[in-house]
Amino acid sequence: MRTNRGAEKQQAEVVVVGTGPGGATSAHILAEHGREVLLLEEGPDLPLESCPPFSVEEMVQKYRAGGLNPALGNAKLTFVEARTVGGGSEINSGLYHRTPAEILERWRDDFKVRESLESDLLPHFEYCEQALGVGTYPGLPPLASRKLEEGAKALGWRACEVPRWFKYDRAPGPDGCADGTRQSMTKTFLPRALQAGARLLPETYAQRLVRSTNGWKISAIRKGKLIEIRARTVFICGGALQTPLLLRRSGITKNVGNSLAMHPTAKVVARFNDQVNHEALGVAVHQVKEFSPRISFGCSVSSRPHLALALSDYPELGRKIGEQWRHMAVYYAMITGPHTGTIRPVFGLRDPLIRYSLSALDLQDLSTALRRLARLLLAAGATTVYPAMPDSRPITAEDELSAIPSELPASRSNLMTIHLFSSCPMGEDAARCATNSMGRVHGTNGLIVNDASLIPTAPGVNPQGTVMALARRNTLHFLGKL
């Protein structure tokens, strides 16, 4: 990298690129152990309360491209990516899972990942759960959520209430809604890092890394101006897309950005005679895990704008949302997609090119998942289920489930995801992994990946519990504390 005269120059012992769950976990542990830490974040520094959750304002303020990010492939698939201090923890529902034991065993066997079985990660899960106040809903969960549990019980399927990182101020009121605050990174680990002496540079985009005599030089853009940062060690925590993008732009390409995985998700709207929806519903806390890890069901954001979007294939009904929305909710069917996506920089553009395709088996599994979800909702008392698919028709009885094709039509599907991972897989198998088991990039010193890109395959659960547990383990290993 050429020296840029006039560029602002900074330095730190450790630079952490990204302030989401991986970066915030890394930074507060490093700072609390006496390391000089500088945090870089591309997005703005906004409080959690800067806008209503799941609102248009939030999408404008805190999402990359307003939440409309496409992956190119054989199916229409969009994904959501945060762009704000605190990362995805600022915009999600706070649902928290530990990584399933069978998934951890698969990573050990297939990727040669060391020290990552259930017993190894237990203290790291427990630490994060205590720090973030992870727990179940106080009192009776909202009715839209309980419909999943009721349908699963009627069919003999396994359902569970998923704990969340929330601090509740009161028990649920008559509408089934409890006042609470999501314990996002700006409420928890980032304040701890700053209190311990870490510095934060928001609106700072890391463009490229170059090895130097005593570590690394980072070329970045801060509010339109060039900045050069020197560090002995760099923790890259930009997420499953931005981390491989930065590495590839820096000439580090081996097993980087070649194996992006997702949880492809299809949605339906269910209408009930009961009033299941209300203004503060948020995201429900129940999920159905009878067919996990391959298939899972849950309840999505069901505000009127989100209902209108999910009903875009039913324009006549969409125009009546104002009359019926309290009786309707959005539900999803999610599969563990393959790790076949690629991430590539595009000359002259900041955002990468994302390619991701689904196999015939994946499309068949999505169809199976949609039929099972519709069956479950009918068993829970839904009068009508509306699959979010072009040329589909409403389903009012089990004998109409065959209207959902045996294989989802790829070119006409409406798929999305909020879970991305696996683009820099960890493990001791250097032939297929980008980093070792502790996140150090193979063939380098002082360069550590510590975010969702490490996760070797789609885990089948919300990934942030996994991300934080791995980030804590890797950071303590770097500090020589494990």
CA distances from 384 to 198, 254, 268 (A): 53, 50, 10
In whole angstroms, give the CA distance from residue 254 to residue 260.
Answer: 14
Least Cα distance to 86 among 47, 136, 56, 142 occurs for: 47
Residue entry with tokens 């991972």: 421
Three-state secondary structure call for residue 31: helix
Cβ-contact 201, 38 below 8 angstroms: yes
| pLDDT confidence of residue 169 | 75
Least Cα distance to 377 among 299, 444, 474 occurs for: 299
Query: pLDDT of 223-246, one tens digit each?
Result: 889 999 999 999 999 999 999 999
| pLDDT confidence of residue 223 | 87
Tokens of 192: 């701890």
| pLDDT confidence of residue 319 | 77
In whole angstroms, give the CA distance from residue 335 to residue 251.
Answer: 33
Tokens of 141: 């969960």
Domains of the chain: 1-45+84-133+183-260+421-482 (3.50.50.60), 55-80+138-182+264-417 (3.30.560)
| pLDDT confidence of residue 358 | 95
Catalytic residue numbers read: 419
Residue entry with tokens 């005269």: 5
Q: Could you report the average pLDDT of every consecutive run of 10 residues in the chain (482 residues)?
A: 63 98 98 98 96 90 90 92 97 94 97 96 98 91 94 97 87 62 96 98 97 95 94 98 98 98 96 90 88 95 87 83 90 94 94 95 96 98 93 93 90 89 97 98 97 97 97 98 89
What angle, 0 to 180 degrees and rounded to 10, lies between the N-to-C axes of helices 464-478 and 21-32?
Answer: 30
| pLDDT confidence of residue 172 | 60
Q: Which amino acid makes up residue 105?
A: E
| pLDDT confidence of residue 137 | 87
Three-state secondary structure call for residue 262: strand
Does residue 293 have a cis bond before it (omega within 30 degrees)? yes
Cβ-contact 55, 279 below 8 angstroms: no
Q: How does strand 8-17 pair with strand 225-236?
A: parallel
**Element of type H or E holding 457:** none
| pLDDT confidence of residue 1 | 32
